[in-house]
Structure 1
Amino acid sequence: MTTGTSKHLVDPEIMGLLDILPPLDLTNETLAQTRAMLSEMNAQLLTGLPEFPDISVREQYIAGPEGAPDVRVLVYLPKNVPTPVPALLWIHGGGYVIGNADQADLQMKSIISATGCAAVAVDYRLAPETPHPGPVEDCYAALKWLYTNASSLGVDASRIAIGGDSAGGGLTACLALLTRDRGEVPLIFQLLIYPMLDDRTVTTADPHPYTGEYVWTPQANHFGWSALLGQEPGGPDVSPYAAAARATNLEGLPPALIGVGTLDLFLEEDIEYARRLIRAGVPTELHIYPGGFHAFPMVAEAKVSQAFIRDYLNALTRAFNQS
């Protein structure tokens, strides 16, 4: 794709973000440097955040999958509310190779303020150091811990939702499949924010002409999937617990919301997954935001971002209240 081919389609209110976000040149050689740069950027962003005195946050290490290290989680609990409250298990984005639980701090606190839930953010192990199934098993360990310890946390074990953005959205979809198949934890909702679902996108012969120019590119996508799978993406033997789009049966999954921008590399795989969920009888909302590239809600004051945030908060609130 030639540079600039989709610029005329970008929502003007989010255009400025492209000047701030560095292009992700992800290789084995640049990965450590990219992680350090993004971590520093995130730390700076977190310093200027508003206070949320009605929410307590604590770091905790919980038992990981069998034979694996403990998993770090951040536990967010609303103060001065009648318990038990519903809960959201949150899985951060970063292409399976970058990011940490701390980056969603403002988002977690905003969700808690709007819905009255508790939240647990998972610091799953990253690829390529930990390929599949390590990341999704870390998330399952955190979900199982949340469910098992619900009463001591003041959480209603019958009202647990899972959610995440980008690779975290992909892990959320995989975790929903794994949780359905293991039958140990009931889930009421899956919040899939521009989820990374299908490794076969990397090898498609017919790429979308206007997606993936900004933030998360085909090159970054190829690197992320290769790191997670430990092999070339698009091959025949990829588990649906690694790439949820590979699942042949989507019946019995929790209700879902999928939201994505029209310029996001994941646009078509997200639309297709929503179509298949609906066809499998899973109550599903699909929202497509014109002019949105990957991670556009970072510009929180833009109208298109406010629409997205309002849509997913409404869906979460309904899910928590219905159950």
Structure 2
Amino acid sequence: MDPEFTEFLAAMPPLQFADPAAQRELSAKARAEWPEVPWPDGVARTDHTVAAAHPVPVRRYVPDGAGDAAPVVLWIHGGGYCIGHPDEDEPFCARLAADTGAVVVSVDYRLAPEHPYPAALDDCYAALLDFASGAPLVVAGMSAGAGLAAALALRARDTGGPVINGQVLLCPFLDATMGAESMAGLSAAPVFNAEDARLCWGHYLGPLVGAPPVWGSPSVAQDLRGLPPAYVLAAGADCLRDEAVQYALRLQAAGVAAELHVVPGVPHAFTAMQPGASVSRRIRAELLAVLGRFLEPAPVQTP
């Protein structure tokens, strides 16, 4: 394990995926005690509700000078489809808006098991439709948020939805079959382990878990052609490592421009766990470069 993570992991209590409601309460109490993080200059936060069959709360992080044609990053938080909150990613989203000049939209989607599949996907897709304006648009997320981002790309392709210019999948949680080698070889991984994965898929998919739908478990999709370019990040000490690797390689085999990074010796969601670690800073710089490419306006075609 990377030594910059050893002390943090030793002090981190296990997440209670067997009782998501209890874990949400614990997480809310912990957030209330977090030290205040400096807010980046020139970024405003506004709250917005997407009008849909089920209204979807979102937060918009808007950099100065961002007009109606500003590019958009739709950010989806992680948490195994059953915990997590936009508060946890607020410093990241605000800084991302400052560094990219894009409007960052963070989705407060419904959580399982109270709201199983497809509630979270429906909420994220409603936000995607609401903020798609013809400007460059990227879907991005961490862990289950990355799984939802991948599912959005599939759903948009399959239904003739908005053009997505890129998908950013950080330590993605993609495979309800749990068949990748690292799920067995790293079954006791720190932060998020194989038993956590089993519980989370059960909460999210319920009776569908035995035959998961494509939009619920993107790894089971047979056809990955025509999907947006992708940046896929896998953590070397993560039980989800190999499903991320396999998905990226399958995207490449299907003709999708997919960039894969596997970082050895780090745990699941490492960039969020220790954003100040040297490897996390390096990955953040890479992420900003990738987003810069994805968010570039398309060249004007001349006759």
Normalized against structure 2, the TM-score is what?
Answer: 0.93
Question: Residues of 2 paired with 1:285 and 1:261: CA distance?
Answer: 14
Q: Which residue number corresponds to residue 319 of structure 1?
A: 294
Mapped pair 1:260 → 2:248:
no
Partner letter of residue 102 of structure 2?
C
Within a 5 Å distance, the mapping from 1:126-137 to structure 2 comes to: 126-137=111-122
Single out whichever of 269-278 and 294-303 deviates more from structure 2. Answer: 294-303
Q: Deviations over 1:62-94 (max 9, x none)?
A: 123x3xx21110011111356622110011100
Q: Is the 8 A contact 1:262 1:289 kept in 2?
A: yes
Shift of 1:38: 1.1
Q: Which residue number corresponds to residue 306 of structure 1?
A: 281
Shift of 1:95: 0.2
- Cα–Cα, structure 1 residues 141 and 212, in superposed 2: closer, same or farther, change >3 Å? farther
Give SS of 1:102's match.
Answer: helix
Shift of 1:211: 5.6
Q: Is the 8 A contact 2:167 2:230 kept in 1?
A: yes
Shift of 1:20: 3.8
* Match 1:192 to one of 144, 150, 169: 169
* Match 2:22 to one of 33, 36, 42: 33
Shift of 1:102: 2.1
Mapped pair 1:94 → 2:82:
no
- Cα–Cα, structure 1 residues 256 and 206, in superposed 2: closer, same or farther, change >3 Å? closer
- Cα–Cα, structure 1 residues 50 and 226, in superposed 2: closer, same or farther, change >3 Å? same
TM superposition outliers: structure 1 runs of 4+ over 3 Å: 80-83, 203-208
Mapped pair 1:279 → 2:253:
yes
Partner letter of residue 274 of structure 1?
A
Partner letter of residue 266 of structure 2?
G
* Match 1:214 to one of 177, 190, 194: 190
Partner letter of residue 219 of structure 1?
E
Within a 5 Å distance, the mapping from 1:1-323 to structure 2 comes to: 10-27=1-18, 30-45=19-34, 47-64=35-52, 66=53, 69-81=54-66, 84-147=69-132, 150=133, 157-201=134-178, 207-210=183-186, 212-231=188-207, 233=209, 235=210, 237-297=211-271, 298-321=273-296, 323=298
Question: Residues of 1 paired with 2:43 and 2:182: CA distance?
Answer: 47
Shift of 1:204: 6.5
Give SS of 2:185's match.
Answer: coil
Q: Is the 8 A contact 2:49 2:57 kept in 1?
A: yes
Shift of 1:210: 3.6
Partner letter of residue 22 of structure 1?
P
- Cα–Cα, structure 1 residues 204 and 210, in superposed 2: closer, same or farther, change >3 Å? closer
Gaps of 5+ in 1: 1-9, 151-156
Q: Is the 8 A contact 2:81 2:200 kept in 1?
A: yes
Q: Which residue number corresponds to residue 301 of structure 2?
A: none
RMSD: 1.8
Shift of 1:219: 1.3
Q: Is the 8 A contact 1:90 1:120 kept in 2?
A: yes
Question: Residues of 1 paired with 2:181 and 2:282: CA distance?
Answer: 33
Partner letter of residue 54 of structure 1?
G
Q: Is the 8 A contact 2:39 2:94 kept in 1?
A: no
- What count of residue pairs does the alignment treat as equivalent? 297
Give SS of 2:41's match.
Answer: coil
- Cα–Cα, structure 1 residues 205 and 281, in superposed 2: closer, same or farther, change >3 Å? closer
Partner letter of residue 136 of structure 1?
L
Gaps of 5+ in 2: 299-303
Question: Residues of 2 paired with 1:241 and 1:44: CA distance?
Answer: 36
Q: Is the 8 A contact 1:86 1:117 kept in 2?
A: yes
Partner letter of residue 212 of structure 2?
V
